Structure 1
């Protein structure tokens, strides 16, 4: 009975968590209907609320926004809007910081999360997987002697929080592993190891 019970948990728990996460995302996106006029609400036409309509509306708005701004006119409007936002005292700092981070993370030409690396952390005798994010900049470079790189160390099982470190390049080992495989490895707390480990992965070369 214990064996069958555990087998049932292994099947149902991932399904239940997946359903819960999807339900949370859809219910959160459904709140976008608050900005839709009451006369246009689904319940006015069919007499009831339809789960997921807000999610579809949100995705449609994001898609249309990207479509409209992906041309000369749209890019000009975005630039004008950004210039106006930069003149607002508090909004300019907040918007500028968020835009820099989002541009780095989502831009196809960015360097964030492009390479999984192995680093000694939190001390010299233990190691963890991190992600190469770039090199130190600004006044920081005036206080670092040597060749340093910037890395992000995600926490387990929630990789959205973590630590930003600047380490000597020679101590950062490049892994022959995709970012997706590394994230899966981290989230699963090491249970879901990469299915294929190349020969060079056991002794990764230093980051160049």
Structure 2
């Protein structure tokens, strides 16, 4: 029984150690495959057609390969010599055969990484253009017209909110982490202070208020903005990153757990003699 208990303990410990790394690698691999399938492959196919249409000699295809292509693509040509000769001498068929030959390398072979790199460079150029005055103006015009499209206007703003939360530099500024009584007295929630309360409320209530953002689990980019009395909040010794991890994990990853993990993974400095 002790051996079984040790086996179970070691297995769970190994799983807990390896699983984060495995999941991280898996997520990036799936992201690459998604981009490769839905973006890079189409870029490579377009590039192949540009190369084939601009050069009558690329790629070179032998008569035997052309014959195999015609018989596989046009089954009727296999039993009819006249149709076979017509297809073998048809420039459009030869071009299609060269496209298929080129795609073997550029779309399905080692050259498929080219589309991924071109997509990456293209995004950089688009970002540089949108950073300019003209780019910003054109994008605002396009976005203004885009959000007026039926059905799109019900989806696009929410998707933009999510992407802006993760990718833009102008993120919501959180100064510190606090606990507030929400949604009722005696029940506490973790929130981030975003600023002072509204002046009108401060003047009417004759006390200081704070504006806090209360993230929802497991998607912290959505939540509630609440104005609460400063005297009713509890300052927490947590960083914003720890608070977000706490929210995303549903409370599983607490600051103490993260702190112990950080200490375990912290490199040991050599002692000075």
TM-score, L = length of structure 1: 0.62
Shift of 1:113: 4.8
State the alpha-carbon separation in 2 of the partners of residues 115 and 52 from structure 1.
44
Could you report, residue by residue, the CA deviation over 1:151-180 in whole angstroms, capped at 9, with x for unpaired residues? 22331xx34476425242333444453322
Does residue 221 of structure 2 align to residue 151 of structure 1? no
Question: Does 3-12 or 63-72 show the bigger shift?
Answer: 3-12
The aligned counterpart of 2:45 is 38
Which residue among 174, 178, 181 is the counterpart of 2:239?
178
State the alpha-carbon separation in 2 of the partners of residues 129 and 185 from structure 1.
9
Alignment of 1:2-151 (within 5 A): 2=7, 3-30=9-36, 31-33=38-40, 35-36=42-43, 38-40=45-47, 43-46=103-106, 48=108, 56=117, 58-85=119-146, 88=149, 91=152, 95=156, 107-111=168-172, 113=174, 115-132=176-193, 147=209, 149-151=211-213
State the alpha-carbon separation in 1 of the partners of residues 197 and 159 from structure 2.
19
Instruction: Point out where structure 2 has 5 or more consecutive residues left out of the alignment.
Output: 1-5, 49-101, 261-273
Instruction: Point out where structure 1 has 5 or more consecutive residues left out of the alignment.
Output: 196-208
Q: Secondary structure at 2:213's aligned position in 1?
A: strand
TM-score, L = length of structure 2: 0.50
State the alpha-carbon separation in 1 of the partners of residues 227 and 196 from structure 2.
9
Q: Which has the higher helix share?
A: 2
The aligned counterpart of 1:168 is 228
Could you report, residue by residue, the CA deviation over 1:170-208 in whole angstroms, capped at 9, with x for unpaired residues? 33444453322222344343263446xxxxxxxxxxxxx
Q: Secondary structure at 2:257's aligned position in 1?
A: coil
Question: Does 30-39 or 71-80 show the bigger shift?
Answer: 30-39
Q: Secondary structure at 1:36's aligned position in 2?
A: helix
